[in-house]
Every structure is written in structure tokens, then in C-alpha cells.
Amino acid sequence: MTIATAVPPARAILCHFDDYSTALFFARWPDRSLLWPGPVPDGEVRPGVAPPQPGADAESVRLAAVRQLGLNESEVEHIAGYEQYLVQGGTAVPVYLYRFRTFEAPTPAIEPAGGSFRQLPELRGSAPAELGLVREVFNLFVGGSGRR
């Protein structure tokens, strides 16, 4: 069973935000995707267009990421104010945002899966739709639309 078939039909953005320095880091995976467990090809970003499919709720996706990536469950928080979808072929795929509540971005925690944490300027080369999704994360945390 692959990671993509072992999780609900949704995607996750994993980030680390330091309230003190306002440093914002995003998990980036070996395929240059910013989405876990993998990209949604040719997706179009839309805010809150549809309710999630059964089994694709934020907590199910969080627990799947924790389990499959071997993360500490208490360090991964769902950010409820982030509601985005990638629409592909008429199907809305929810994208949830999870923040690590650690002192520093926990790079060693995601390295076994090939991930690393990167700041915005280092995300060049990622899919335009995914960059649109992380722009909304930036607006949420840094842009003043509801600091967490």
C-alpha cells in the first residue's frame, strides 16, 4: 500500500511558524510538492467550495500524517481558519493546514520521508497552485488576517 492510498482523499500542508521571529517554514517533499502525501496534478485553488468527503476530515488527515510520518501527535496542530480546496476534474480535494508547535522547525521528523522545511523564497519550482495555497498560509500568519 502506498502513502497516497493509505490516507483520506485530502491533502495537508505542514508548516512551522515562530511567533517571536515570524519565521515561516513549509515542508517540501522530494517531488517538489508542498502537499502531503503528494501533489494534485493540474489543480485549481478555490476557497471553501465543498464539504470534505467522508474520511477526509481534518482530524483523520492529521492522524494519518502523524502515523505515517512518525510524528509526535502532540506537536501537530490543525489550523481551523484555513479553508482551501484544489479542484481537479470537478472534484474538490480539501487542503488542510497543520502547524508544528515546536521551538524550531522539526526537520529531523520529516527527513526520513524525504522532506525538508523551507522558507518562501526557497519554494521556487513548486506548482503554481501549491504556491497559491502557501500564499494564503502566509496571509493567515504574517499578513495580519488572523495571527495564530
Q: CB of 16 within 8 A of CB of 37?
A: no
pTM given for the model = 0.87
**Residue 4 located in a structural domain:** no
Nine-digit cell string for 48? 471553501
In a domain, 66, yes or no: yes
In a domain, 6, yes or no: no
Name the more confident of 97 and 4: 97
Are 132 and 42 contacting, i.e. CB atoms less than 8 angstroms apart? no
For residue 144, pLDDT over 70 is answered with no
Residue 146 falls inside a structural domain = no
Does 36 reside within a domain?
Answer: yes
- Please count the structural domains in the chain: 1
Q: Going by DSSP bridges, is the β-strand pair 11-17/91-100 parallel, antiparallel, or unpaired?
A: parallel
Please give the Cα distance from 117 to 143 (Å, whole number). 20
Is 1 within a domain?
Answer: no
Residue 148 belongs to some domain of the structure? no
Core vs surface per residue 97-121: b (16+ CB within 10 A) or e: bbbbeeeebbeebbeebebebbeee
CATH number, domain at 89? 3.90.79
Enumerate residues 6+ apart whose C-beta is below 8 A from 67.
Answer: none
Does 104 map to a domain? yes
- Boundaries of domain holding 113: 11-141
Segment 2-24 shows an average pLDDT of 77
pLDDT tens sequence across 38-90: 988 777 778 776 666 666 889 999 999 999 999 999 999 999 989 898 887 77
